[in-house]
Amino acid sequence: MFLKHLRLNNDLSQEQLCMHLRQHSSLFYNLDTITVSRWERGVNIPSLAKQAEIVELYDKELTSIYSADPLFLNECRTLVSIPKSQSTRSNHPYYSNDEYVIKTIDINDDSFYLVLKMIMRYENNPSLILKPPLDSFHGLQNLKISIATAFNGQIVGHGLFLETSSQNIFELVNIKSDLKALISELPNKTPDGMLVLSSAGATIELENSIMSSYINQFSNNKGLRYLCFSVCDDIFIKKLQTAKLEAFKVRNIALGDQKVSIHSFLLSRSELMANRFLLKLAVISPNHLANFITEKDNG
């Protein structure tokens, strides 16, 4: 229905739509009107990769389509819902699948420096090295932290990210720059990408919730064209690989007596939307997330 309305609203025949899509992307090199007709009649549907290309061509958002689909939202819910079964209870010393809240903070929040210091201390990522005092750095206002808290403010998950230019992202990935270089360059460049430097949670569901907080922000900002994860946490790297993402670059860096491998996963906007796991997280708005977390079994 979406495809048919889009074509008619743009006053296109099925043949004209085929020509537009073939010119736009190699994914449609053998597209014909029979296939378009089948899509419009619901006989079959294009892959997510093709869907993402189509909606991007006509300045639409795949997330707006799927956020209105109850069946898809039910899939999203399973990613972040708190497990009820005893067999899936968390072994985390401070968290046992209880309710939690997620908020995104910046330099204006009283807890910003404390949380940032915690992340830099416990993350084994050489890119995050900043010598104190932290408040002496210009550009930290572009850095954001998503934190999940349970009990009396106990932090049980975090994500560290910033909006920056694609040039800065490539410099970090290829030229071995670090957070200090990134934040010093930010004021002079227009952000067109989001860089995630750390993302973790006490459970898989909580980690998914943290991811949804910044991926949803990314999806809602049309000016952001690229998303890059540049991380060295083995568990998180395996999670991204399980989601069928391949590392764009792997850097091995000596850190004391250890060798740290930083994996960078770089995705365009359409590539993110074409990944079903990431699309589910992108669809989860803060309101959705709050409802999913507190939803009861009879929900």
Separation between Cα atoms, residue 277 and residue 239, nearest integer Å: 11
Contact of 176 with 124, CB cutoff 8 Å: no
Q: Which residues contact 100 (CB under 8 A, 6 or more apart)?
A: 148, 149, 150, 156, 157, 206, 209, 293
Q: Report residue 85 as tokens.
A: 């079964």
pLDDT tens string 85-104: 666 667 777 787 888 899 99
How many Cα neighbours within 13 Å face the side chain of 160? 20
Nearest to 183 by CA among 117, 122, 134, 253: 134
Residues pairing with 262 in the sheet: 251
**Are 172 and 230 a contacting pair, CB within 8 Å?**
yes
Does residue 76 sit in helix, strand or coil?
Answer: helix
Architecture of domain 94-294: 3-Layer(aba) Sandwich (3.40)
8 Å CB contact between 122 and 114: no
For the chain, give the mean pLDDT: 87
Q: Where do the structural domains in the chain lie, given as residue ranges?
A: 2-60, 94-294
Listed as ranges, residues in the chain with pLDDT below 50 are: 297-299
Cβ–Cβ < 8 Å for 297, 81: no
What integer pLDDT is reported at residue 297 of this predicted model?
A: 46
